[in-house]
Chain A
Amino acid sequence: MEKVYIAGIGQTAVGELWERSLENLSAEAILGALKDGGRPKLDALYVGNLLASAASGQANLGAKIADNVGLTGLETTTAEAGEASGAAALRLGYLAVKSGYVRNALVVGVEKCTDTVGSGAESMIAHGIDYDFEAVQGLTPLGQAGLLMARYLDVYKPPREALGALPILAHTNAANNPNAMYSKAISSETYMKAGIVSDPLNMFDAAPYADGAAALLLTSDEKISRKAGKEAIEIRASSGSIDALALHERPDALAFSAVTVSTQKALAQAGVGWKEIDLFEVWDAFSIYGVLSVEACGLAAWGEGWRWMMEEDHSPMGELSLVTMGGNKARGYPLGAAGVYQAVEAVLQLRGGAGANQVHGAKIALTQALGGPASNVITHIFSRS
């Protein structure tokens, strides 16, 4: 089996980008990754996307995106794993390069939410939940997060402001990320006063749906990075795991079991433990998902994730840094592209290029993407080679 390296990264600013199209966003990210990684001959392009069929009426994205940037002749496939689609595309690329059948592959995550607005947008974002038994009752991902947060607050009784720790950290970090949707830190008071979205979830508990694209150049040839004057970052682990799609199908809705399994598999593959990991791009689509994830992946005891979030230092200076470039909450949440953004940000950190948010001496990073409420979880571990 080959080793798999990331030789190039590219990303667009995240936001409501009305004037730009799916392929135009993808092009900026792809050309950025190729410029960064030195334009080797490409064999394949893997696309991560969730909404294009519904929001833009467009499927077969690989052909559209590759042809637009003149990459004719290579093979393409789109990966769909709910909101973890970007991470799924990365995993496809990883498997292809690892196997030796593909030498150089591009992975692009792209989302163009704003091609549809209003109640139609709420509907298509709900495509990832169980249609027949959840969506038909008027439930959406926001509602699922509200259900989990209400149960968590009732069972474990944390102070309400504890759920604000992760969104507040995300906003603080995003202030130093030029590609972030929000560049303003928020206070605990602002968090507590925010309008309720799906009770008890408030506006700052939910990451904002956004447009954006991010790309990675994968290769089995370590020399490519050296030629481009960059340190090659190795993908040390890639793993996936599923849970029941619908919350009501789970024996304990507060136990994100797919997070547990996916994390354990990834740590075993990489042969590392949490103590050796410097940064964790935890999935913060909703603040409660961050709390449930750190409990499920063994960083905090059940019911204690809120305390771990609130009482320990998770800034870039802390023992284990979280959402170092603003996470989904404040970088912006481009759904099926978000998993690729996480990987781009991890590479920036491991190369020492994260600017004011640099995690000092970062050697190993773990990223984790959740489709739905951990219905489909994909974890990657990266290290300096």
Chain B
Amino acid sequence: MEIPRHWRLQKQRYGLVGEICPHCNAKIFPARDICPECGGEAKEPYRFSGRGAVYSYTVMNNAPAGFERGLPYTIALVKLDEGPTVTAQLTDLGEKKVKIGMPVEMVTRRLKEDGDERGMLIYGYKFRPVMG
């Protein structure tokens, strides 16, 4: 069981909350202790819009423990509109063919099953194609 480490990341996982640097206004995700742009200390929370575009993607055919049920699944590097890139699964794809550059938006989904059927379910962000 890994409850504490997932609990402390709730805001980041559920709300895509990162940081904005008080020194240079760089938007940072995931949160870190030192701003990668200016080297100042970064502490101020910032909620990202959840919109972005696919920078790259791959389809996983072998899964680590806790992900087997989702096979095969698509993972992307998503470049957020505000600048940073995140690693996330793509979801709700239906028949849609993924392309680099495709606009996507964040949704909250089940990420992983921790342990057996009595284990914890871990939720967090995934991205789906922008509708319409």
Contact = CB atoms under 8 A, between A and B. Distances in A.
Contacts of A1: none
26 contacts: A119-B64, A119-B65, A119-B66, A122-B65, A133-B86, A133-B87, A137-B88, A137-B111, A138-B63, A138-B64, A138-B66, A138-B70, A138-B111, A139-B60, A140-B62, A140-B64, A143-B60, A146-B60, A147-B76, A148-B56, A150-B56, A151-B100, A154-B100, A196-B61, A197-B62, A253-B56
B30 A199 contact: no
Interface string B38-53: 0000000000000000
Nearest to A145: B58
Chain A at the B interface: mostly helix, strand, loop or mixed? Answer: helix
A246 interface: yes
Most chain A Cβ neighbours within 10 Å, of B58, B61, B70, B89: B58
Interface string A233-254: 0000000000000111100010
A196 B112 CA distance: 24
Contacts of B62: 122, 140, 142, 197-198
A130 B59 CA distance: 19
A92 B106 CA distance: 45
Contact of A132 (B5, B65, B77): B5
B86 A140 contact: no
B58 A253 contact: no
Interface in B101-132: 111-112, 122, 124, 126
B19 to A, nearest CB: 13
Interface residues of B, number: 35
A234 B85 CA distance: 43
A119 B60 CA distance: 13
Interface of B is mostly: strand
A138 B60 contact: yes
B77 A248 contact: yes
A198 B56 contact: no
A201 interface: yes
Contacts of B75: 137-139, 143, 147
A248 B78 CA distance: 8
Given A138-B111, A248-B85, A147 B56 contact: yes
Interface of A: 119-120, 122-123, 126, 130, 132-140, 142-143, 146-151, 154, 196-201, 246-249, 253
Contacts of B67: 119, 138
A47 to B, nearest CB: 26
Given A126-B64, A247-B87, 5 more contacts: A123-B65, A138-B73, A139-B87, A147-B75, A198-B62
B55 interface: yes
A138 B109 CA distance: 13
